[in-house]
């Protein structure tokens, strides 16, 4: 089969493809796989009960179910849901925002495919532009979205050592340079894979840089405030005309609905609507319909603050305890868990690379994600740190997480010899 350059690029083996293949295989294999690799949220009983109740109400409320499955939304997505989001953010955060500042997409991955290719790649004046990632490691899903090849310029972080086995990444502003080549700045907060939360000061400095150079500042807020609020430290949510804030219903517990939320200047929202129309006619109605009452009533905030956030914080704290026990005697570090539902493990000077560690763990039915996939823009950088890390999720049930951590400890100790 002969493919175009587009076809060759987007059918090649990539980190995100491996991740989703592993997730799908684990869920359908029937084997006792310890799945610590995917980004699937937990089944939180109180949250699941809430969604079930909202679906029952939707089924019983006139023709709302028929409209959800039988009608196309507009290319910007369900207008009533966008109005409810805008009103919630006005009331909760005081933002000067309307439904015209909001578009829905078929998941955040689709949103970032559109946004990153809108602001980087080949331009009409024959100039090539890039996306600046101020700090790598960054989200695996960004790495391969570029239609015109590699889209990223990335920088190594500064390291803060908090205690014997805990560290934190910071943006190295001394090295950070925004040239005419940069079409946008992009960060995730909390960061996938590390759980890092950029400080308010770091966010303000990056926002100022974007404004100074008249480029967008894209913030991936999939795990952040005000929902799903999987964040364990102080972090002020921000938005203005040069910020593109990307949210999602996935980490709230609705990944199957594929509902991304883009909050941006009206011109950008119009562009996203045009891309939606071409790529998929319209985004799905399901997430908007299911979450509409939660957003309109503000119940989504209560759900996030009082159920979802404390649930994940407790799981993170417990996983760190198990890791300290399982890895005792090795030169390991855990990135300070400040949000999301991953732990980023660094095995300093480990004799094997992250892919080999991944393969060894997979042989024992433990699926994690090797760390080298999380450094877009630093692919050609000979930096050993990229091969010394892995990402593990602690969102699975307690038995799975504890058993998986025990095996990770055994394999890491075996690797160190």
* Rounded CA separation 210/317 (Å): 35
What is the per-residue pLDDT for 24? 64
From the list 348, 274, 282, the residue with the least C-alpha distance to 78 is 282
Secondary structure (H, E, C), 171-188: CCCCCCCCCCCEEEEEEE
What is the per-residue pLDDT for 22? 66
> What is this structure's pTM?
0.94
Enumerate residue ranges in the chain where pLDDT < 50.
Answer: none
In contact, 244 and 97? CB cutoff 8 Å: no
* Cα 110 → chain centroid: 12
> E strand or H helix at 407, and its extent?
helix 398-416
| All domains of the chain in start order, with CATH | 5-47+303-416 (3.90.1150.10), 72-300 (3.40.640.10)
From the list 10, 275, 6, 283, the residue with the least C-alpha distance to 119 is 275
What is the per-residue pLDDT for 28? 57
DSSP letter at 136 equals: S
Sign for the pseudo-dihedral over CA of 179, 185, 191, 197: positive
What is the per-residue pLDDT for 26? 57
From the list 385, 290, 314, the residue with the least C-alpha distance to 57 is 290
What is the per-residue pLDDT for 13? 72
What is the per-residue pLDDT for 299? 97
From the list 102, 76, 75, 79, the residue with the least C-alpha distance to 89 is 102
What is the per-residue pLDDT for 145? 87
In contact, 239 and 245? CB cutoff 8 Å: yes
What is the per-residue pLDDT for 27? 54
What is the per-residue pLDDT for 30? 56
């Amino acid at each position: 089969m002969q493919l175009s350059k587009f076809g060759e690029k987007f059918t090649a083996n990539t980190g995100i493809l491996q991740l989703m293949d592993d997730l799908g295989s684990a869920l359908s294999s029937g084997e006792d796989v310890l799945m610590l690799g995917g980004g699937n949220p937990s089944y939180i009983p109180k949250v699941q009960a809430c969604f079930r109740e909202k679906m029952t109400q939707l089924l019983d409320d006139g023709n709302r179910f028929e409209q959800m499955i039988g009608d196309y939304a507009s290319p910007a997505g369900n207008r009533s849901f966008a109005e409810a989001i805008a009103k919630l953010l006005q009331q909760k955060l005081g933002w000067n925002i309307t439904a015209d500042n909001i578009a829905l997409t078929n998941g955040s991955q689709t949103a970032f495919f559109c946004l990153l290719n809108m602001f980087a790649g080949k331009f009409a004046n024959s100039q090539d532009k890039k996306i600046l990632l101020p700090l790598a490691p960054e989200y695996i899903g960004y790495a391969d979205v570029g239609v015109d090849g590699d889209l990223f310029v990335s920088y190594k972080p500064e390291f803060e050592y908090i205690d014997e086995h805990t560290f934190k990444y910071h943006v190295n502003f001394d090295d950070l340079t925004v040239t005419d080549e940069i079409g946008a700045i992009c960060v995730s907060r909390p960061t996938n894979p590390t759980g890092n939360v950029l400080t308010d000061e770091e966010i303000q400095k990056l926002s100022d840089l974007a404004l100074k150079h008249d480029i967008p500042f894209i913030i991936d807020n999939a795990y952040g405030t005000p929902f799903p609020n999987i964040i364990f430290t102080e972090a002020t949510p921000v938005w203005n005309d040069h910020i593109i804030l990307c949210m999602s219903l996935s980490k709230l517990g609705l990944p199957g609905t594929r509902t991304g939320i883009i909050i941006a200047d009206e011109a950008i929202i119009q562009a996203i609507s045009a891309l939606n129309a071409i790529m998929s006619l319209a985004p799905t109605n399901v997430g908007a319909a299911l979450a509409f009452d939660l957003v309109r009533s503000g119940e989504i905030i209560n759900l996030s603050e009082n159920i979802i956030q404390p649930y994940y914080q407790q799981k993170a704290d417990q996983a760190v305890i198990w890791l300290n026990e399982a890895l005792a005697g090795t030169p390991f570090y855990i990135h300070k868990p400040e949000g999301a539902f991953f732990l980023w493990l660094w095995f300093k000077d480990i004799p094997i690379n992250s892919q080999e560690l991944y393969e060894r763990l997979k042989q024992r039915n433990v699926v994690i994600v090797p760390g080298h996939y999380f450094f877009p823009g630093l692919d050609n950088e000979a930096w050993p740190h990229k091969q010394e890390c892995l990402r593990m999720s602690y969102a699975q049930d307690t038995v799975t997480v504890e058993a998986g951590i025990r095996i990770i400890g055994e394999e890491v100790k075996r690797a160190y010899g």
